Amino acid sequence: MQLKAALAEIYGLRYMIDRLDIKSGLAHRVLLASPFIVSQKELQHQLELVSSTQKSLCDDSTKPLLGKVTIKLAQVRDIGGTAKSIQKGITLNDIELFEIKSFALIAQEVKELLKTIPFLGEQLPSLLAVVELLDPEGTRIPSFYISSHFDANLAPLRRQLLGLELMLEDSTDEQLQRDADEVRSKIEAIEDGVRQRLSTLLASHANELAKAISAIASIDILIAKAKQAVADSLVMPVIGGETTSYQGLFYPQLKEVLEQQNKRYQPIDVEVNRGSCLITGANMAGKTVLLKTLALSQAMCQYGFFVPAQSAQIALVDHILFSIIDEQSELSGLSSYGAEMLKVNHIVQMAKKQHRLLVLIDELARTTNPTEGRAIVNAVANFLDECNVRAIITTHYSGLGAMCRKLRVKGFIDSSGDTQITIRNIGDYIDYSLVEDDGTSVPHEALRIAQILGVDADILTAAANQLGANLNSNKN
């Protein structure tokens, strides 16, 4: 799956991509087309490049050079289309020749600047031959026209035309006009010849050009990724093992929003093992955010980014499969339960075929009755556990019999005394960290949270009474 498609599926990924300081439209296009890397060797290479770029960015001897490179990168035009025309043997027009020339000049300058940062510079082939072809005068100025250096016959003809035009300014003599037109068509024929010759010669450099285009894009992307890694405190993941384990995992978008409001953000530690894992926890305890963060982090890693954590070890997967409820399904004519079941079925079918999967299911079967819902959760959890995929399922159901790992978000901290918990400070009274749990009971904080949110007391009292009555009747 290309990054472009993942943007629509992985929550928070667009936020990270939008914040990348990519300089050229070319690099942006290449970035959006980048693949989800499943080969450990390839991904390791990518991540190491980001790491080396990050080191160069932080090193005082190379930092200014990279600054200059980024200025150059900002001038790059996307000549992907023109490069294709070259390969197909189409004769280029002046604008396309100008683009090739200015691209080649920039690429050469970038290559020169990157001499002392070889791991970046080496990707870039020399385009000196292209520059010399399009800049026969050797001025190295990024402007272009079919000058007389391309064909010695042009200069005298152009001089002749200039003379005729001067005469024509004060005369309407038809013979003069005809002469001028004849000279013009001669010039035009020579110019067209030059364009054809240049295009043919450029075709023999098509490979270097294509390589240079992707190298320029890659350098731009690497610098942007490395800058983002520094700015957002991302970390290089250790990849390839069998464990996925994060210390200090965070969701960048939420972290920033909370920090802007001077609120606390609590990063969490989590392990994602093979087999199923059920997570319970109070409402507002961050279960959904946890799933989104795990998906985001896995995706960022496998698209060659550093990940939002203090340290991370990530086992590679072939697919990230996600079922989350806040999606619109009415338009497809399905109830939210219907849409969810189809999605879960898709996950089950995938899990039958392959086990390198990260499966994240948010509040499975919550929109149906608890009896059947509980049964579905047990069935899915057991099935995914047997398939040995990495699956995390959040739920509010208690007493789940599935024989898999169970975790619980710690939830409310017992607030001592005087501070009133309100909707504004509620985040300060929740411990978002995960603990192992047996799953026999789940937190019963729904009424308390409703109260904090300011829900009408009539309802709360009535609900509390109902609970009391149920408890009594159970005792009896």
Partner 1 sequence: MPFINDILTYKSLSIVGLEKNTGKTECLNYVLSRLKDMDKRIALTSIGIDGESRDIVTNTHKPEIRIYNGMIFISAEKHYLQRRITSEILDVSNIHTSLGRLVTARALSSDKVMLSGPPDTHTLKSLIAGMSQYNVDLTIVDGALSRLSLASPAVTEGMVLATGAAYSANIPELVRKTKYVIDLINLPEVEPALKQQLDAVESGILAIDPQGCLHDLNVQSVFMLEKAKDRIFSHGNRLFVAGATSNNLFEFLRMQKNAASIELIVKDFTKIFATPDVYYSFIRKGGTVKVVTRTKLAAVCINPVSPQGYRLSSDELKAAMQDALQMPVYDVKKL
> What string marks each residue from 55 to 94 as x (binds partner 1 by CB under 8 A) or -?
----------------------x---------------xx
Separation between Cα atoms, residue 372 and residue 394, nearest integer Å: 16
Tell me how far apart the alpha carbons of residues 442 and 368 are, in angstroms, rounded to a whole number. 18
CA–CA separation, 208 vs 406, rounded Å? 55
Residue 99 lies near partner 1 (rule: CB under 8 A): yes
CB 387 within 8 A of CB 355: yes
Q: Which of 407, 391, 443, 440 is nearest to 283 (CA)?
A: 443
C-alpha distances in angstroms, 120 versus 27, 66, 299? 15, 10, 24
Burial of 458 (0-12, 13-18, 19+ CB in 10 A): exposed
Considering the rule CB under 8 A, would residue 162 count as an interface residue with partner 1? Answer: yes
Which CB atom, from 95 or from 457, has the smaller least distance to partner 1?
A: 95
Nearer to partner 1, 143 or 172 (CB): 143
Q: Which of residues 169-188 bind partner 1 (CB under 8 A)?
A: 184, 187
Task: Using the minimum distance from each CB to partner 1, give the nearer residue, 182 or 456.
Answer: 182
The stretch near partner 1 (CB under 8 A) out of 2-10, 46-54, 127-135, 161-169 is 161-169
331 touching partner 1, by CB under 8 A: no
Residues 6+ apart with CB under 8 A from 88: none
> CB-wise, 144 or 429, nearer to partner 1?
144
Q: 119-128: long-range contacts (C-beta < 8 A, 24 or more apart)?
A: 119/49, 119/52, 120/52, 120/53, 120/56, 120/219, 120/222, 123/215, 123/218, 123/219, 124/211, 124/212, 124/215, 124/216, 124/219, 125/208, 125/211, 125/212, 125/215, 126/208, 127/205, 127/208, 127/209, 127/212
Q: Are 84 and 213 in contact (CB under 8 A)?
A: no
Using CB under 8 A as the binding rule, the residues of this chain from 291 to 320 that contact partner 1 are none
In whole angstroms, the minimum distance from the beta carbon of 171 to partner 1 comes to: 15
Find the length of the chain. 476
Smallest gap from Cβ 94 to partner 1, in A, equals: 6
| Centroid of chain to Cα 376 | 34
The candidate with the shortest Cα–Cα distance to 277, out of 150, 410, 435, is: 435
For partner 1, which is the closer residue by CB, 176 or 447?
A: 176
Specify the pairing of strand 311-314 against strand 238-239: parallel
Residue whose CB is less far from partner 1, 164 or 212: 164
- CB closer to partner 1, 109 vs 271: 109
Q: Which is nearer to partner 1, 51 or 75 (CB)?
A: 75
* Residue 329 near residue 338 (C-beta atoms within 8 A): yes
Among 95, 152, 331, 457, binds partner 1 (CB under 8 A): 95
Tell me which of 2, 14, 25, 35 binds partner 1, using CB under 8 A: 25
**Using the rule CB under 8 A, is 193 a contact of partner 1?**
no
Could you tell me the smallest distance in angstroms from the CB atom of residue 99 to partner 1?
Answer: 6
Q: How far is the CB of 28 from partner 1 (least distance, A)?
A: 12
Q: Which of 161, 213, 222, 270 binds partner 1 (CB under 8 A)?
A: 161
Nearest distance, CB of residue 194 and partner 1, angstroms: 13
265 counts as binding partner 1 under rule CB under 8 A: no
Residues 121-160 that bind partner 1 (CB under 8 A): 143-145, 147, 158
**Based on CB atoms, which residue is closest to partner 1, 185 or 415?**
185
Q: Indicate the residue among 63 and 145 with the shorter CB distance to partner 1.
A: 145
Residue from 292, 266, 291 nearest 395 by CA: 291
Q: Least distance from C-beta 124 to partner 1, angstroms?
A: 22
Find residue 279's DSSP bridge partners: 394, 407
* CB nearer partner 1, residue 92 or residue 296: 92
Kindly tell me which residue out of 21, 42, 112, 165 binds partner 1, with binding defined by CB under 8 A: 165
Please state the closest distance from residue 191 (CB atom) to partner 1, in A.
9
Of the candidates 98, 103, 303, 305, which one interacts with partner 1 according to CB under 8 A? Answer: 98
CB of 168 to partner 1, least distance (A): 10
Minimum CB separation of residue 448 from partner 1 in Å reads 41
Tokens of 402: 């599935």
Give the DSSP letter of residue 20: S
- Total residues contacting partner 1 by CB under 8 A comes to 17
CB contact burial 283-299 (16+ within 10 A = b; e otherwise): ebbbbbbbbbbbbbbbb
What are the residues binding partner 1 (CB under 8 A)? 25, 77, 93-95, 98-99, 143-145, 147, 158, 161-162, 165, 184, 187
